[in-house]
Structure formats: structure tokens, C-alpha cells
Amino acid sequence: MTLLLMGANPCVTLFDDGRPIAYASVWRVDWSVCGSGHALVLAVPGRVRIIGPDRDLGMWLGDEFNRHLRLEGAIPWTEPEFTPAPVTFDLDLDIGFQAAGADVSVTVADPIERYLTRRDDYDLGGVPHLLSTVWIPCREGVIEVGGTPLAGAPRVDPTEPMSSAFIADAEVWCTADHPRK
């Protein structure tokens, strides 16, 4: 088994009339086979952006993980545009998360519950991966571009509890047959 990544990955998918209209995934990579640092992935119909100070790390995260991690019926993945910029990452496990990079900001807040999860067969592009994480579904999620909130809202079911706005912390990805990049 090869350890690929250790870190955190808060995400939010916004829905309008039942369909996903925007997706943001923010990474805090404490260690990976491609280095460490922060990156922000934003997908809206027809456009995928990756923002971060390290192009190689950001593009690897998008290609290896985000293009496979989106919700069913999600926004189609297109060739990402890379924007070199620092990404701030502020996580408080009691209240939520905020990040910003270039003209994009992401907020995920109001945790519902906290779970330790493990899945031994998480399919990423036909390759099974082991994923363990502390998964924290949240009630609120906002994506802003240029200071303007995007339309839509996260899909939240507090009875499950499930949410398309969540924090994944203490996230560890492994695979048995992953070539080092």
C-alpha cells in the first residue's frame, strides 16, 4: 500500500432547482507524494479553475482526486485553468472553515455532526483507494467569486445527517498500485 496524501479537504456543492451549479474543494496538504501546501478547485458549468501557489500540486489534486470526487450528476469536468496565487485556509472544527485564493472565497460552517470514516474501495477513475477521514457535514456553504456569492445552496439533510457542504479533516488517501509522480 502506498500513502498518497495526508491533510484536509473541505468542500461545498451548491444546488439550484435540484441540479449542481457550483463546486468548490479546498485542500490543505500536510504531506503528499507531490509535496505540501494549499489549493482551491472551483467548478462551474463550462469552467474548472485551480488556484494555488504550486501548479504541480494543484493540478495533481485536480487530476488525481477532484475530477473523480464530485457528486452524482455533477458539473462536467473540463481542462482546468491554473491561477497562481496564495490560498488562505482557516479551519475551526467547532464552527467551520473559510478559505480564499485569487478572487474566490469559500465558507463551510455550522457543523451537524462529526464521524470517523474509512472506505477501502473508493473508486478514483477505476483505481481503488483507501480513504480515512474525519467527516463533518455542515448546514451552511457559500462560494463567492469577485465578492459576489454564487447562486444556489448546499443540499442538507440533518436527519441523516448528510450535506453537500462538509469538512474532511485528518484525511488520508492510500492505494496499493499508485505510481509516484
Domain range annotation of the chain: 2-175
pLDDT band of residue 159 (cuts 50, 70, 90) is: confident
> Which pLDDT score, from 0 to 100, does residue 74 have?
76
- In three-state form (DSSP H/G/I as H, E/B as E, the rest C), the secondary structure along the chain is CEEEEEEECCEEEEEECCEEEEEEEEEEEEEECCCCEEEEEEEECCEEEEEECCHHHHHHHHHHHHHHHCCCCCCCCCCCEEEECCEEEEEECCCEEEEEECCEEEEEEEECCCEEEEEEEEEECCEEEEEEEEEEEEEEEEEEECCEECCCECCEECCCCEECEEEEEEEEEEECCCCCC
- Residue 134 has what pLDDT? 98
Residues 68-80: what's their mean pLDDT?
81
When computed from its CA atoms, the radius of gyration of the chain, rounded to whole angstroms, is 15
| Pair 20, 44: CB distance under 8 Å | no
Grade residue 14 by pLDDT with cuts at 50, 70 and 90: very high
pTM of the complete model: 0.94
Among 48-57, 101-110, 117-126, whose mean pLDDT is lowest?
A: 117-126
pLDDT for residue 178 is more than 90:
no
pLDDT at res. 151: 96
Q: Average pLDDT of 73-90?
A: 93
